[in-house]
Structure 1
Amino acid sequence: MSWLVLVISGVLEAVWATALGKSEGFSRLAPSLVFGVALIGSMAGLAWAMRDLPVGTAYAVWVGIGAVLTVVYAMVTGAEPVSTLKVVFLVMIVGGVVGLKLAH
């Protein structure tokens, strides 16, 4: 269950990171609210998962999921250009996250 909560928390990290960018310095209400709710949910889930998982592994997996999803979303929406190197490095991050899970 801790791994599932950690994955959901990682997804919420991508949500709050994206919303933070769209909030334009907290000057736009809707993205600012999404940021706040997703941030609280993400941190609460991370904290809960860390009760059973090693801190270093949990944090690395959480950050990896959030980083990859944030970049993929930006590339899919056209906010960030797609390149072969970016895709290769994203795959490397995913590989590292999977490796941490398997090594647990």
Structure 2
Amino acid sequence: MSWIFLVVSGLFEAVWATALSRSEGFSNLGPSILFGAALVASMGGLAYAMRDLPVGTAYAVWVGIGAATTVAWAMVTGAEPVSVVRVLLILGLIGCVIGLKLTH
């Protein structure tokens, strides 16, 4: 169950990171509210997962999921350029996250 919470909280990390970038320094209300809600959900899920998982593994997986999802979303929406190298690097990051799960 901790792994499920960790994955979902990693996805919420991508939500808050994206909302933060669209909040325009917290002057745009909608993204600012979404940022706050996603941040609480993300940190809460990470904290819950850390009850059973080692801090290093949990944090690395959480960051990896959040980073990969944030970059992938930015590429899909056209906010960042897509290239073969970028896609391969994201896949490598995902591979490392899977490797941490498999070795736990």
How far apart are the structure 2 equivalents of 1:87 and 1:75? 9
How far apart are the structure 2 equivalents of 1:84 and 1:25? 32
Please report the RMSD computed on the Cα atoms of aligned residues, expressed in angstroms: 0.4
Instruction: Name stretches of at least 5 consecutive residues in structure 1 with no aligned partner.
Output: none
How far apart are the structure 1 equivalents of 2:64 and 2:18? 15
**1:85 Cα deviation (Å)?**
0.7
User: Can you list the C-alpha shifts for 1:32-61, whole angstroms capped at 9, x where unaligned?
Assistant: 000000001100110010000010000000
| Aligned sequence identity (%) | 68
How far apart are the structure 1 equivalents of 2:93 and 2:30? 31
Question: Moved runs in structure 1, 4+ residues, more than 3 A?
Answer: none
Matched, 1:78 2:97: no
Number of matched pairs: 104
**1:101 Cα deviation (Å)?**
0.1
How far apart are the structure 2 equivalents of 1:71 and 1:22? 15
